[in-house]
Amino acid sequence: MSGLFVTMEGTDGSGKTTQVKLLKEYFESKGFSVVCTREPGGNVISEKIRNIVIDSNHKEMGSRTEALLYAAARAQLVYEVIIPTLKRGDIVICDRFVDSSLIYQGVARNLGIDKVADLNLFATEGIEPDITFFLRLDPEKSIERKKQLNKLDRIENENSYFHKKVFYGYIELAEKFPERIKIIDAFADINTIRENIIEYIEKLLLQRSVL
């Protein structure tokens, strides 16, 4: 596949959605065709699964059920959106991908990163992002931002210990895969974050002799 696959990761409220939009605008200004999507979701089936997973009324949901539902939504997204887009040679920007499950279910839910990775290897047909941006924001700050915007969903409503495990899990994962995962200071202003992301993107495009 000749397209480019970019993912945004981070704790809730870190500004991923905003940076996905800004990165899309950057790519389009360079003449690229871009598809933006999110996880869980991105198509009719996956959005229905999303509604089940994040519903705050589903407090009884087991950790394995949660991991399987995320993987199912991801499998449909890969099949219906990501693979076709990359095969056309276009760009996919996804708000979350497998890294989220490795951290939220593998680390924070204590299911184990290896087990969650194996599950998602099947779900994604082995597809990996070309580059991932981890928007680093202190967990207390991230939840504070989310509370100001809207009602918290089932995952966002988890206690501070859970969100701290998520945050430090991301840090460890980024340190393990520094070539793919780039840490971006999400406490900076929006334009600075955008510039930092684009700097990495331009280096990647130059490596591919696209720019």
**DSSP H or E segment with residue 197:** helix 190-207
Q: Is the pLDDT of residue 1 over 80?
A: no
pTM: 0.94
Name the least confident of 57-71, 147-161, 183-197: 147-161
Residues 6+ apart with CB under 8 A from 163: 11, 108, 139, 140, 142, 143
* pLDDT digits 0-9 by tens, 82-119: 999 999 999 999 999 999 999 999 999 999 999 999 99
User: Which pLDDT score is estimated for 146?
Assistant: 66
Residue that wins the pLDDT comparison between 150 and 194: 194
For 4-207, give the CATH class. alpha beta
Average pLDDT in the chain: 94
Name the nearest CA neighbour of 138 among 7, 15, 3, 6: 15
- For residue 60, count other CB atoms closer than 10 A to its CB: 6
- For residue 77, count other CB atoms closer than 10 A to its CB: 27
User: Which pLDDT score is estimated for 96?
Assistant: 98
Instruction: Indicate the DSSP class of residue 92.
Output: E
Which residue do the tokens 């981890």 mark? 134
Q: Domain map of the chain by residue range?
A: 4-207
Tell me what the mean pLDDT of segment 33-44 comes to.
Answer: 98
Q: Is the pLDDT of residue 208 over 90?
A: no
Q: Is the pLDDT of residue 132 over 80?
A: yes
